[in-house]
Amino acid sequence: MGDTSQGVIYGINGPVIRVRGGHALKMLEMVLVGNDRLIGEVIRVLEDEAIVQVYEHTTGLKPGEPVISTGKPLTIKLGPGIIGNIFDGIQRPLTRIAHETGAFIKRGTVMDTLDHDKLWDVKVLVRPGDTVKPGTIIAEVKETESVLHKVMVPPDIEGEVTEAANDGRYNINKTIVRVREGKAIHNLTLVQEWPVREPRPYKARKPLDIPLVTGQRVIDTLFPIAKGGTAAIPGGFGTGKTLTQHQLAKWSNADIIVYVGCGERGNEITEVLEDFPKLIDPRSGRPLMDRTVLIANTSNMPVAAREASVYTGITLAEYYRDMGYDVAIMADSTSRWAEALREISGRLEEMPAEEGFPAYLPSRLAEFYERAGRVDTFNGHSGSVSIIGAVSPQGGDFSEPVTQNTKRFIRCFWALDKSLAYTRHYPAINWINSYSEYWEDLTDWYKENADQNFMARRIELARVLQEEGKLLDIVKLIGSDILPDEQKLILEVAKAIRQGFLQQNAYHEQDTYVPMQKQYLMMDSILRLYEKSLKLVARGIPISVIRKTGVFEDVIRIKYTIPNDDLGKFEDLNKKIAETLDEVEAGYKATERKSDV
């Protein structure tokens, strides 16, 4: 890091400062601002001045204080010790800072991102004479009980190993491998640095044909997301965005979770920080934090750091993807991130676009979401980064710019509905306004891993829900009594789908997570009831007679009555449904014969 003053502060406007005085600063370079050495980033370079956004509060700064160049862009450190940690937007370790400075981060606080004193058990995998390339795994470290950290050659280094340490306990700064590249010698430790705004390279992209299974029926069955895919969860206040993301973090079949609390209220972030360490990973029985990274930027933290936090999160996700892990990143919420862009843009006096957001909002959203993907890495593994971004439109208005621009870059849209949330329907995902574009890519997987008829059943389920949506408009005008029995049956079956299939209890042992096979069998049982009832209605049997048998209540209760590990009970259920409706039909035939006599 250089220590030569490259200029002095000329003007201050909140987090945006102007630098003059033979600055020689480069675009997107990280700088140290003022006597307190606040971290900043160059965002505009002019002939005689540079403009810097500061990632800390600028209270107390004054013109004339120095601005010092570091000679490198905003980078973060990647190595053992990331998993289980809590960082702020520029990767400062909040837990260790809290021990030293108390509840509030003091301005200019600089602390090593990773613990330099901790000794790790390192297994070195290369020996002198080996040829290594970018991404080659040179060592392994047991980072947590759930994550094996694979130390890789940085993407810009290739050559021959000249020295390699023996297996042992080392800190992150210890040179474990030396690599000769031409005349240059590279000393490789357990840590590498990477600029947060630059995507990490990979060998090739792979098709998105494997779903990220979440155990949430409305998502997995109706609106699935692929591993390496992108999804948005838009919803107003109180619709369950954070709770939905908690469920996805806990139950999705991702190996590692990166949770970015970006600009949310302090009490919400506190709840996340308190709840996540208590959550138990259902796959290992250990704390969920053993495979989770938290990045916390509350709404009262410096606004510029909020803008950086999503890039920090996605860079961490890409790093573990390169090891061959499937990573899911939860960004909560991208609306607050966009508001940070708007505030900084306003201070730069840039021409505003719709609702005051900068004209480059779409390109910034694209930069973030397009870093998702499933890839072949340089070391022969396959890894993925799936991005699930919460959007908080003001007043629940999905026509506002952040939601609309997000829809351009994502392929899965889980629209949360305030009316569903207020009736305690969880997840409050509106099945009419939501969509997923991953269906064609995932069809083969569902046929192989759930059932050959899964797609046909799923289409039929969605059709019933669509029909109900049309009929409810009529019911609001004239009531349901005037509808023919075929349409009354649609309403009755749709109610069973809504209450028995789409609605899920996050706090119930059997219902909080549902495997794909049970999801299919639940859907199949409901549709069998519909098809059998439709034949009876066509014969003139009133829907009220079928309703009195209690079969609709039976299928609503199957999410609780049939355990996830005893799916054989579905055969008994289907047999009971068939027998009950056969009895109804037999009784109706007997009644017909009596009336004929």
Q: How far apart (Å, rounded) are the C-alpha atoms in residues 15 and 342?
A: 13
**What's residue 592's pLDDT?**
63
The answer to the question of residue 467 being in a domain is: yes
Q: Residue 5 pLDDT > 70, yes or no? A: no
Among 144, 381, 87, 386, residue whose Cα is nearest residue 249: 386
Examine residue 494 and state whether it is found in any structural domain, yes or no.
yes
Question: Checking DSSP bridges between strand 86-87 and strand 292-298, what pairing results, if any?
Answer: parallel
Across the range 405-409, mean pLDDT stands at 95
- Last residue within a domain, chosen from 25, 49, 73: 73
What's the confidence (pLDDT) of residue 96? 79
Q: Rounded mean pLDDT of 182-211?
A: 95
Contact (CB, 8 A) for 212 and 328: yes
**Span 78-117, pLDDT tens digits:** 999 999 898 988 888 887 777 777 666 776 667 678 989 9
- Phi-psi label, residue 19: left if phi above 0, alpha if psi -120 to 50, beta otherwise: beta
Radius of gyration of the chain (CA): 28
Amino acid 530: pLDDT: 96
| Three-state DSSP string of 87-114 | ECCCCCEHHHHHHHHCCCCCCCCCCCCC
Residues 226-247 pLDDT 10s? 999 999 999 988 888 888 888 8
User: DSSP class of residue 395?
Assistant: G
Q: Is the pLDDT of residue 68 over 50?
A: yes
Is 10 among the domain residues? yes
What does DSSP assign to residue 220?
I
- What pLDDT does 597 receive? 47
Least confident of 80-84, 251-255, 280-284: 280-284
The full DSSP string for 480-494 is STTS-HHHHHHHHHH
Band (pLDDT 50/70/90 cuts) for residue 4 is: low
Q: Contacts for 420-423 with beta carbons within 8 Å, 24 or more apart?
A: 420/239, 421/235, 421/238, 421/239, 421/240, 422/238
pLDDT tens for 503-555 read: 999 889 899 999 999 999 999 999 999 999 999 999 889 999 999 999 999 99
Q: What is the DSSP string of 406-431?
A: HHTT-SEE--B-HHHHHTT-SS-B-T
Task: Give the confidence band of 2 by pLDDT, cuts at 50, 70, 90.
Answer: very low
- Residues of the chain with pLDDT > 70, as a percent, come to 96
**What's the rounded mean pLDDT across residues 31-52?**
92
Query: Which range in 180-184, 204-208, 306-310 is most confidently predicted, on average pLDDT?
Result: 204-208
Q: Report the chain's terminal Cα–Cα distance, integer Å.
A: 102
Structural domain boundaries enclosing 20: 5-73
**DSSP state for residue 508 in the 8-state scheme:** S
Domain boundary among 49, 73, 97: 73
Tokens of 363: 């390109």
Q: What is the pTM of this model?
A: 0.92
20-28, long-range: CB < 8 A, 24+ apart:
20/48, 20/49, 23/49, 23/50, 23/67, 24/69, 25/50, 25/52, 25/67, 25/69, 28/73, 28/74, 28/195, 28/197
Instruction: For residue 493, tell me if it sits in a domain.
Output: yes
pLDDT band at 305 (very low <50, low <70, confident <90, very high): confident
Tell me the per-residue pLDDT of 44-67, one tens digit each, with 9 for 90 and over.
Answer: 998 889 999 999 889 889 999 999
Tokens representing residue 132 in the block: 């290594």
For the cut 60, the answer to whether the pLDDT of residue 3 exceeds it is no
- pLDDT, tens digit (0-9, with 9 covering 90-100), for 349-391: 899 999 999 999 999 999 999 999 999 999 999 999 999 999 9
pLDDT at 1: 44
Q: Facing residues of 54 across strands?
A: 40
Closest by CA position to 27, among listed 76, 67, 73: 73
- Is residue 581 situated within a structural domain? yes
| CATH number of the domain within which 33 lies | 2.40.30.20
Residues with Cβ within 8 Å of 28's Cβ and at least 6 positions away in sequence, in order, are: 41, 42, 43, 73, 74, 195, 197
- Report the pLDDT value the prediction gives residue 596, as an integer from 0 to 100: 53
Domain annotation covers residue 142: no
Question: Is the pLDDT at 127 greater than 50, yes or no?
Answer: yes
Looking at residue 465, which CATH number applies to its domain?
A: 1.10.1140.10
Q: Count of domains in the chain? A: 2
Detail the DSSP E strand segments found in 125-274.
131-132, 137-142, 148-152, 159-164, 168-170, 177-181, 184-188, 192-195, 204-205, 230-234, 256-264
Residues 6+ apart with CB under 8 A from 285: none
Identify the CA nearest to 455 among candidates 438, 443, 467, 465.
Answer: 443
- What is the average pLDDT score of the chain? 90
Which pLDDT band, with edges at 50, 70 and 90, does 594 fall under? low
Residue 285 has which token pair? 């029985």
Residue 138 forms part of a structural domain: no
DSSP single-letter state for residue 254: -
- Compute the Cα dihedral for 402, 404, 409, 413 and give only its sign: positive
Prior bond of 515 cis (ω within 30°): no
**HEC string for 164-187:** ECCCEEECCCCCCEEEEECCEEEE
Neighbours of 94 (CB within 10 A): 17
Confidence of residue 267 (pLDDT cuts 50, 70, 90): confident
In a domain? residue 199: no
Q: Of the candidates 51, 73, 95, which is a domain's last residue?
A: 73
Q: Give pLDDT, residue 90.
A: 84
Burial grade of 515 (CB within 10 A; 0-12, 13-18, 19 or more): middle
